[in-house]
Chain A
Amino acid sequence: MSVTASPAHTASPSPPLSAAAGIEASCRLPLLSLFGGGVLWLLAGLLLALIASLKFHDPHFLANEAYWTYGRVQAAHRTALLYGFGVPAALGTGLWLLCRLGRSPLAGPWVVVIGAVFWNMAVVIGLGAILCGDSTGFESFAMPGYVTLILFVSYLLIALCGVLSFHRRATGPLYPSQWFVLGSLFWFPWIFSTASMLLLWAPVRGVMQASIAWWYAHNLSSVFLGFAGLASIFYFIPKLLGRPLYSHYLAALAFWTLALFGSWGGMPAGAPLPAWIISMGVVGTVLTTVPVLAVAVNFYQTVRHDLQALDVHLTLRFSYVALVFWLIAAAHQIVGALPHVSELTDYTWFPVAHWELFHYGFFALAMFGALYYIVPRLLDPLDPPAWSPGLAKCHFWFTSVGILISYIVLLVVGVGQGFLLNDPYFTFAIIMEGTTKQLRHSTLGYLCILVGTLFFLLNFALLLLRFGRRCWAELGKEVA
Chain B
Amino acid sequence: MACSWLSFVLGPQLQIGDMRPTTNIVVGASGQIYPNAEPGAAHQGAEIYRANGCACCHTEQVRPRALGSDINRGWGIRRSTGYDYLFEQPVLLGSLRVGPDLANAGRRMDAAAVLLRLYEPRALTPGSIMPPYPFLFDKRRIQGVLSPDALRLPAAFAPPPGYEIVPRPAARALAAYVTSLRQEGYLFEAPPPPQPAAKTNAPAKPMTNSPAK
Contact = CB atoms under 8 A, between A and B. Distances in A.
A134 B97 contact: no
Contacts of A274: 12, 15-16, 82
A206 B88 contact: yes
A72 interface: yes
A205 B8 contact: no
Nearest to B121: A59
Contact of B82 (A64, A136, A272, A428): A272
B23 interface: no
A190 B127 CA distance: 45
Contacts of A423: 69
B37 interface: no
B51 A65 contact: no
Contact of B12 (A135, A211, A260): A211
Given A59-B121, A269-B67, A274-B16, A137 B95 contact: no
Contacts of B61: 268, 270-272
A348 B90 contact: no
B51 A432 contact: no
Given A69-B52, A423-B69, A272 B95 contact: no
A111 interface: no
Given A74-B56, A75-B56, A208 B16 contact: yes
A211 B8 contact: yes
A208 B99 contact: no
B16 A206 contact: yes
Interface in A178-209: 186-187, 190, 194, 198-199, 203-209
A259 interface: yes
A139 B55 contact: yes
A260 B80 CA distance: 30
B147 interface: no
Q: Which A-B residue pairs are the 9 nearest by beta carbons?
A: A71-B53, A270-B63, A263-B4, A133-B51, A137-B50, A272-B80, A424-B72, A215-B8, A209-B91
Contacts of B3: 260, 263-264
A272 B93 contact: yes
A420 to B, nearest CB: 10
26 contacts: A55-B131, A56-B129, A64-B134, A71-B54, A74-B56, A139-B53, A203-B89, A204-B17, A205-B19, A206-B19, A208-B12, A208-B16, A208-B91, A210-B91, A264-B3, A264-B4, A272-B81, A272-B85, A277-B7, A277-B8, A280-B7, A284-B4, A343-B63, A421-B69, A424-B73, A429-B127
Interface string A216-230: 000100010000000
A71 B57 contact: yes
Nearest to A280: B7
Interface string A133-164: 11111110000000000000000000000000
Given A63-B134, A210-B85, A271-B93, 5 more contacts: A59-B122, A63-B133, A74-B56, A343-B63, A424-B73
Listed residue (A70, A206, A223, A433) with the most chain B CB atoms within 10 angstroms of its CB:
A206
Nearest to B35: A206
Interface in B65-91: 67-70, 72-74, 79-86, 88-91
A65 B135 contact: yes
A195 B154 CA distance: 46
Interface residues of B, number: 68
Interface in B186-205: none
A273 interface: yes
B172 to A, nearest CB: 16
A422 B67 CA distance: 9
Interface of B: 1, 3-5, 7-9, 11-13, 15-19, 49-57, 59, 61-64, 67-70, 72-74, 79-86, 88-97, 99-100, 121-122, 125, 127-135
B128 to A, nearest CB: 7
Listed residue (A205, A215, A348, A352) with the most chain B CB atoms within 10 angstroms of its CB:
A205
B90 A136 contact: yes
Nearest to B88: A206
Given A133-B51, A268-B95, A272-B82, A59 B130 contact: yes
Nearest to B70: A270
A339 B4 CA distance: 20
B98 to A, nearest CB: 8
Given A59-B131, A264-B4, A207 B82 contact: yes
Interface of A: 55-56, 59-60, 63-66, 69-72, 74-75, 133-139, 186-187, 190, 194, 198-199, 203-212, 214-215, 219, 223, 259-260, 263-264, 268-274, 277, 280-281, 284, 343, 346-349, 351-352, 417, 421-424, 428-429, 432-433, 436
A133 to B, nearest CB: 4
B18 A263 contact: no
Nearest to B3: A260
B4 A219 contact: yes
Nearest to B127: A433
B80 to A, nearest CB: 4
A453 B97 CA distance: 30
Listed residue (A72, A138, A347) with the most chain B CB atoms within 10 angstroms of its CB:
A347
Contacts of A424: 69, 72-74
Given A69-B52, A206-B91, A432-B129, A343 B68 contact: yes
Given A65-B135, A199-B90, A277-B7, A421 B127 contact: no
Contacts of B62: 270, 272
Contacts of A207: 16, 19, 82, 84-85, 91, 93
Given A190-B1, A190-B5, A352 B96 contact: yes
A422 B1 contact: no
Nearest to B54: A71
B17 A208 contact: yes
B135 A66 contact: yes
Nearest to A266: B8
A139 B143 CA distance: 42
A65 B97 CA distance: 24
Contacts of A219: 4
Nearest to A260: B3
